[in-house]
Amino acid sequence: MQLYSTNNKDLSVSFKEAVFNSMPQDKGLYMPVQIPRLDQDFIAHIEQYSLPEIAYKIASTLLKDEIPEKDLRALIEDAANFDAPIVKLDIKTFVLELFHGPSLAFKDFGARFMSRVMAYFLKDGEQLLDVLVATSGDTGGAVALGFLGVPNTRVTILFPKGKVSEIQRLQLTTNGENIRAIAVNGTFDDCQSLVKQAFADEELNSKFRLTSANSINIARLIPQTFYYFNAYAQLKQQGFNAVVFSVPSGNFGNIGAGLLAYKMGLPVQQFIAATNANDTVPRFLETGVYETKPSVQTYSNAMDVGAPSNWVRIMDLFNEDQAAICKIVKAYVFSDDETLLGITEIYSKYNYIACPHTAIGYLAAKAFAAENPSNEAANVFLSTAHACKFPDFLSVAEPLPEQVSMLHQKEELYTELEKDFEGFKKYLAESGLKI
């Protein structure tokens, strides 16, 4: 598998190099030189396969000879060892539950796959791998659990102080071992900017072996395609051949993975980008002008991104053609008040408990269905996190899973920093010898 930079299509690197370097020096993002299509016979009979079988088919098609078959199968079976079920709410409405992994968020798919790929490629005696992560809520917890205890790695997670839920914070700050947490006095965009500046800093790169576990890393994007294909397989078992996916969107890695699956042959009728007040992409789709703005805090905090990194990948997938993107992607924006009403409506109508992000996905799916009443496709909205992570917004108590209830018994360890890069660079330099 060869990859190029979105800023330089003449660049060509291997999958291993893209995984460890995560971001080209020209500040683009890595994309496959070729996006292979899955064979039609596999798609036609996809309902006969399990999630690990589907995941192996996709990964082996993309990665080809990067990892031997036996090793790749073992890696996938270890990484994707939890379910991603679709739950039927009414005759055409389904929710795709992506929170059954260890951190209770969809990010577990990408984080577990990536950590195992990196561990596979790492050799004894190699320089310590420093993984830098910016999180708006769920990425950090998934990465922390995915990399916890992985030899020869150290993870540094940056999160916006006071802008993640209590459970999300505890998932970042109670791990110890090779996991470090930094509370940044700023927004997620500030955290993301610090990470990107670190990758572009020659002095830091000469001292440390830096890589990212954010969705800018191609190893995060690939495994997120797995659950789109698996959802389609489950829908086919229920008699559906057409599907509309409504995706809660912040940094646009999740819907970017769905669009990559679409390019690989997944028969999707429509993707819906469901957003909160951070509406950079919806404004672009409407006006053709891509203009980022500072992120604002909302109840759906994991989507509080004003400058979504992965949008450049989506533009690249469609050769910068806004009209082509608009044919397959439609966007809806919802306020905090509407989000709360959505949480209440899902529970009263379906007896289903949803987090704020899931509620926005539901509202967007509902809006699209209302505009297309004759559409026979299955309407699937993605549930990206377990509702227990957001107790302040629930009208009914959600029982705590064991891995969450145990967090309150652990000691929190984290460092506070301002949002200036020099302070972050000094932290990295001074703590470089500490494990």
pLDDT digits (tens, 9 = 90+) for 184-232: 999 988 998 999 899 889 899 889 989 888 778 899 899 999 999 999 9
In the annotation, is 163 catalytic?
no
**Buried/exposed code over 306-337 (b: 16+ C-beta within 10 A; e: otherwise):** bbbbbbbbbbbbbeeeeeebeebbbbbbbeee
In the chain the domains, ranked by start, together with CATH numbers, are: 40-107+219-393 (3.40.50.1100), 114-216+407-429 (3.40.50.1100)
Cβ atoms of residues 421 and 431 within 8 Å: no
Q: Residue range 359-369: average pLDDT? A: 97
pLDDT in tens, 40-77: 999 999 999 999 999 999 999 999 889 999 999 999 99
If one compares 53 and 401, the residue with the highest pLDDT of the two is 53
CA distance 162 to 142: 19
**Confidence band, pLDDT 50/70/90 cuts, at residue 8:** very high
**Confidence band, pLDDT 50/70/90 cuts, at residue 124:** low
Query: Of 222, 220, 231, which is closest to residue 49 (Cα–Cα)?
Result: 231
Whether the pLDDT of residue 433 is over 60: the answer is no
SS3 assignment, position 262: helix
- Mean of the per-residue pLDDT values of the chain: 92
Q: Residue range 240-253: average pLDDT? A: 95
Count the Cβ atoms, other than its own, within 10 Å of residue 80. Answer: 25
pLDDT in tens, 402-424: 777 788 888 999 999 999 999 99
Q: Residue range 24-34: average pLDDT? A: 91
Half-sphere exposure of 121 (CA within 13 A, CB side): 19
Give phi and psi for 428, each to the nearest 5. -65, -45
Determine the straight-line distance between the first and last CA of the chain, rounded to whole angstroms: 33
What's the pLDDT at 211?
A: 87
Which of 48-57, 134-143, 306-315 has the least mean pLDDT? 134-143
For the whole model, what pTM was predicted? 0.89
Which member of 57, 107, 330, 366 is catalytic?
107
Whether the pLDDT of residue 434 is over 70: the answer is no
What's the pLDDT at 4?
A: 95
What's the pLDDT at 432?
A: 65
Whether the pLDDT of residue 233 is over 80: the answer is yes
What's the pLDDT at 44?
A: 95
Whether the pLDDT of residue 435 is over 80: the answer is no
CA 168, 170, 173: angle at the middle one, nearest 5? 115
Cβ atoms of residues 314 and 252 within 8 Å: yes
